[in-house]
Amino acid sequence: MCQKGRHRKACLAWNKKHPGHDHSRRVKTQAWAKVFPDYWQRYRATHPDYAERERKRMRAKRGKIRRVAKQDAWDRRVDGVLDYLIWKEGVANQDALAWSPSGA
């Protein structure tokens, strides 16, 4: 098993032993964020190198997401390919014209 697999297995075991950990961390983080609402704006203003790195990272991440095919576009593409293949089969196979669903 590779290191990534061992890590995943260890994380699953730890999360099973500590089922409420994620929720309790989220609650604490949200409470802290309410007390310090402008923390990240001030941090980015005082750390421009961090802000630039993060901007580049997020731009790259968003770029990857844009390349994913949309579900409806993919469905239309598949339908078009299927229509083409059915048409091609009918043109190439002359007895396909004589065939009928009732078998007559």
The pTM of this model reads 0.43
- The C-alpha angle 31, 25, 55, rounded to 5 degrees, equals 80
| pLDDT at position 69 | 57
Amino acid identity, position 91: V
Contact 86, 79 (CB under 8 A): no
Give the tokens for residue 35. Answer: 């007390």
Q: Which residues of the chain have pLDDT under 50?
A: none
Q: Which two tokens stand for residue 36?
A: 């310090």
Per residue in 71-101, pLDDT (tens digit) is 555 555 666 666 767 766 665 555 555 555 5
